[in-house]
Amino acid sequence: MGSPGAPEFRSAQPHVTREGDSVTSSNDRPNATPTAGPGITKTPTGIKGFDELTGGGLPQGRPTLVTGGAGSGKTLFGLEFLVRGAQDFDEPGVLLSFEESGPDLADNAASLGFDLPALETEGRLVVDAMQIDPSEIINTGDFDLDGLFIRLAAAVQQVGAKRVVLDTIEVLFAALDNDAIVRAELTRLLRWLKSQGLTTVITGERGREGQLTRFGIEEYVTDCVVVLDHRVRDELATRRLRIMKYRGSSHGTNEYPFLIRDRGLMVWPLTQVTLTYGASDERVSLGVPRLDEMLGGGVYRGSTVLISGTAGTGKTTLAAQAVEAACARGEKALFVSFEESPAQIMRNMRSVGIDLRRWVDAGLLRLWGERATAFGLEAHLDGLDQLLEDVEPSVVVLDAIGSLSSIGGSAQVTSMMARELDLLKSRGITAVLTSLIHEGEPESSSAAVSSLIDTWVLLRNTESDGERNRLLFVIKSRGTAHSNQVREFRMSDGGIKLLDVLVGPRGILTGSARARQLAETEAAEAERSAGLEQRQRAYEGHAAVVEAEIALLRERLATQRAELDGLATETLRGDTARIAVSASVASQREPARPPASSGENEQGA
Amino acid sequence: MTTDAPATPSPDPDGIHHLRLYVAGQSPKSVRAVENLRRVCEEHLPGRYEIELIDLLENPHLARSDEIIAVPTLIRKLPEPLRRIIGDLSDTEKVLLGLQLTKDRVDP
């Protein structure tokens, strides 16, 4: 019935038949969204996490229905969509509000840190709060919504709007008392919004018994439907967001937690941000040289280390040592404790020779203590995100992640841990988590998160001879030829030391058993060395005797030689004399028989 | 736009009714609404009414200042309190109800 009134309105708006234009023209534009189907261009909402989830935002030039119960955050979603558009994407917007007054909207927006009046003054936003009091309206016959159309068109023209939010248009059904007309006009309105290429968010109140909206307006919005939910489970309120429908685009189908913060909404996608981060080849020290050695030179920068163990095994101390090492390298670190206050951590660590205060004073270390139960899981995540932004650490300690299980079911905690670790990994932060294992529980009780962990160090108490001692194992370390050895783990006032374990006849030996074994070994050694000395002396004695004998024999030999030499000399002299005699005899006979050749020479001379 | 002095004892002692009718162009609805309004006023408020006709296509900014969504919308500015009536005013009974000119007061 609204159509008879339409022609005048259309004549005022020259671009009536452009429906679908936005889709075809979108093909010319660079498609920056990896998961978008052909022909779908997306408009970023600027809502943290949402654009990652949808691969770029809302369908450009098309309407999106955002529906949810009272207080689910629909209006804030729309507000942020507009404000981010105006502030960050140079896309002015128009807000038509049917529920709240202008000042109320400005107050709501201010709670997210948005200044609506300023944006209006700058000409980047129009807020038109339509006051409708159903009790004031009397319906006397045929009508249409040209008043609304004209107001919207004027506002769009005023700022050159690209985005429109209608919050909550369903109010019209109740107020105007003629469903047939309102439906027809709604169809006309959506057609007009599309023809103008306006990216629109239409909010709807969730209906009863699974109805998406009270008046079924989801029939008119077929491109994208986002469902918001606010539920209370175990006294903890959590908000969830789900993308029910996104025509022409892939999208996450899960329910994602989201949060209303003092600086906008935030959605936590699990599957979209994972496994895209780079991998560093750089090793960083955990501050215990022998542990680094076991891990092949430390852990990779940006990897995640889990230190698990029963109570009192030194998890926190080992984590603090990693922080100390990072600060000593001049890097920034963040230590989040769910169990102790910063002052308590500093005092306790000082007692084992780790002076954290100097790093706090130097501005390299931030200690942060909060009870895990103080906030819900999402608020906790958001708090961490904020801290990471403020501190920009290279190493983060979370002590102890088990505390978080008190604020949600195990599946929730696990998925939140995954998100938290993604957050850290995407920033290239080396994370050290501690996890308490209860006595008697299997090691695998931390397994819920173990698949997310790159390096897993287990600390264990051994009890023997009336004392407890600590052992350290490296259960896994991705990408590293890590040691399979068990080490004894000792805390002293000079920090942490790792010792090789002794293997005795009854297994590995630690503590006083180690001391005893060491003493025994020493005694045996002493005994052995004493015997050796004796034999040495005996040998030396014998050697001396032998040497003396050798000397004597040598002397004797020398004497014999000397005698022999003397004899030989005398004999030689006798011979020489005899030779001389015979030679003189020969020379006397010489002239009688001269050699044939030289005879002439002698004659010539 | 017609004023007159009260001749008979009026159902509303305050006198003049100031009415403003918002329309969008010359649509059949608009034309009907204007006709219906004049008829009702002549019948029930003879000489005591003043009609201001506003075409939103010519003055779009006025839609916002008077909170107009549906068209046609009739607003009774005076007497107080402000009344808001939507539609082409073809349902006379409802128009009278909206203008607080119910039969029992006009025709006792």
Do residues A132 and B86 make contact, with C-beta atoms less than 8 angstroms apart?
no
Give residue B79's pLDDT band: very low, low, confident or very high (50, 70, 90).
confident
- Whether residues A262 and A291 share a domain: the answer is no
CA angle A58, A412, A312 (to 5 degrees): 140
Element (DSSP H or E) covering residue A199: strand A199-205
Q: Which of B65, B68, B71 to mutate to test the interface with A (most CBs of A within 10 A)?
A: B71
pLDDT band for position A202 (cuts 50, 70, 90): very high
Beta strands in A253-312 (DSSP E): 255-261, 264-267, 283-284, 299-300, 304-309
Residue A603 domain-assigned? no
Question: B3 in a domain, yes or no?
Answer: no
Average pLDDT over residues A200-206: 91
- State the DSSP string of A37-51: PTT--EE----BTHH
Q: Is residue A38 part of a domain?
A: no
Residues of A with CB under 8 A from a CB of B: 4-5, 7-9, 11-12, 128, 130-132, 136-148, 150-151, 153-154, 172, 176
Is residue A273 in a domain?
no
Under an 8 Å CB criterion, which residues of B touch A? Answer: 22, 24-30, 32-33, 36, 56-57, 60-61, 63-64, 67-74, 82-91, 94-95, 97-98
**A154, closest residue in chain B (CA to CA):** B60
Tokens 């990896």 belong to A34
Judged against a pLDDT cut of 60, whether residue A78 lies above it is answered with: yes
Shortest Cα distance from A182 to chain B (angstroms)?
10
Question: Distance between CA A21 and CA A4 in Å, rounded?
Answer: 25
**A289 and A223 both lie in a single domain:** no
Phi and psi at residue B23, in whole multiples of 5°?
A: -135, 170
A-chain CB neighbours of B95 within 8 Å are 138, 140
User: Under DSSP, is residue A5 helix (H, G, I), strand (E, B) or coil?
Assistant: helix
**Same structural domain, A401 and A490:** yes
- DSSP annotation string for A370-426: --GGGS-HHHHHHHHHHHHHHH--SEEEEETGGGGGGGS-HHHHHHHHHHHHHHHHH
Q: Measured between alpha carbons, how far is B98 from A118 in angstroms, rounded to an integer?
A: 40
Mark whether A234 and A302 lie in a shared domain: no
Kindly report which listed range (A268-272, A341-345, A486-490, A512-516) carries the lowest average pLDDT score: A268-272
Report the sign of the C-alpha dihedral through residues A277, A280, A283, A284, in that order. negative
Indicate whether A199 and A60 sit together in one domain: yes
CATH (domain of B50): 3.40.30.10
Q: pLDDT tier at A496 (50, 70, 90 boundaries)?
A: confident
Kindly state the tokens that stand for A543. 């050697």
Give the closest-approach CA distance of A227 to chain B in angstroms.
Answer: 28
**Which of B27, B67, B85 lies closest to A130 in CB terms?**
B67
> Dihedrals φ, ψ of A291, to 5°?
-70, -40
Residues 6+ apart with CB under 8 A from A536: none
CA distance A191 to A149: 12
The 10s digit of each residue's pLDDT in B86-108 is 999 998 888 888 888 875 544 44
Kindly state whether residues A178 and A207 are assigned to the same domain. Answer: yes
What span, in angstroms and rounded, lies between the C-alpha atoms of B102 and B108? 10
**Whether residue A273 has pLDDT greater than 70:** no
Residues A176 and A87 in one domain: yes
Tell whether B10 is covered by a domain: no
Q: What is the pTM of this model?
A: 0.63
Q: Give dist(CA A293, CA A476) in Å, integer.
A: 14
Residue A209 falls within a domain, yes or no? yes
Q: Is residue A567 part of a domain?
A: no
Separation of alpha carbons A124 and A162, rounded Å: 10
Q: How many domains does chain B have?
A: 1
Beta bridge partners of A462: A469
| Least Cα separation, residue A143 to chain B (angstroms) | 4
- Residue where a domain stops, chosen among A466, A500, A534: A500
Please give the interface size between A and B, counted as residue pairs whose CB atoms are below 8 Å apart: 117
**How do residues A500-513 score in pLDDT, each as one tens digit?**
776 766 666 777 77
Residue B72 domain flag: yes
- Residue A18: both structure tokens together: 């452009």
Q: Backbone dihedral region of A297: left (phi > 0), alpha (psi from -120 to 50 degrees) or beta?
A: left
Q: Are B90 and A4 a contacting pair at CB < 8 A?
A: no
Q: Looking at residue A99, what is its pLDDT?
A: 85
Pair A449, A482 in one domain:
yes
- Domain annotation covers residue A573: no
Assign A591 a pLDDT band (cuts: 50, 70, 90): low
* CATH number for position A333: 3.40.50.300
- Residue to mutate among A136, A150, A173, A182, with most B CBs inside 10 A, is A150
Distance CA A192, CA A361 (A): 61
Give Dmax (Cα) for chain B.
Answer: 43
Q: Give the tens place of pLDDT for each residue, A275-313.
A: 556 677 888 888 888 888 888 888 888 888 988 888 778
Are A198 and A321 part of one and the same domain? no
> By three-state DSSP, how is residue B93 classified?
helix
Residues A324, A208 within the same domain: no
Of the candidates A107, A96, A237, the residue with the CA atom closest to the CA atom of residue A163: A96
Given a cut of 80, whether residue A11 has pLDDT beyond it is no
**Number of domains, chain A:** 2
Q: Which structural domain range is residue B43 located in? A: 17-106
Give B39's pLDDT tier (boundaries 50, 70, 90): very high
Residues A174 and A322 in one domain: no
Measure A216 CA to nearest chain B CA, in Å. 21
pLDDT value of position A198: 95
- The rounded distance, in Å, linking the Cα atoms of A151 and A130 is 10
- Which pLDDT score, from 0 to 100, does residue A602 have? 45
| Cα(B82)–Cα(B99) distance, integer angstroms | 10
pLDDT at A66 over 90: yes
Q: How confident is the model at residue A92 (pLDDT cuts 50, 70, 90)?
A: very high
B52 contact partners, CB below 8 Å, separation of at least 6: B1, B18, B19, B20, B21
Q: Give bridge partners of residue B75 from the DSSP assignment.
A: B20, B84
- Percent of chain A with pLDDT strictly greater than 90: 25
| A26 within a domain of the structure (yes/no) | no
| Same structural domain, A352 and A328 | yes
Q: What ipTM describes this predicted complex? A: 0.83
A180-184, A334-338, A432-436, A579-583: least confidently modelled range: A579-583
Digit-coded pLDDT (tens) for A338-396: 888 889 989 988 888 889 999 999 999 998 887 766 666 667 777 888 888 888 999 99
Give pLDDT tens digits for A398-407.
887 776 665 5
Full residue range of the structural domain in which residue A73 is found: 3-15+47-246+257-267
Choose among B56, B83, B86: nearest Cβ to A150. B56
Q: E strand or H helix at A224, and its extent?
A: strand A224-233
Nearest CA in chain A to B37: A140
- The answer to whether residue B5 sits within a structural domain is no
Q: Tell me the pLDDT band of A272, cut-offs 50, 70 and 90.
A: very low
Contact A377, A413 (CB under 8 A): yes
Chain A residues inside the 8 Å CB shell of B25 = 7-9, 11
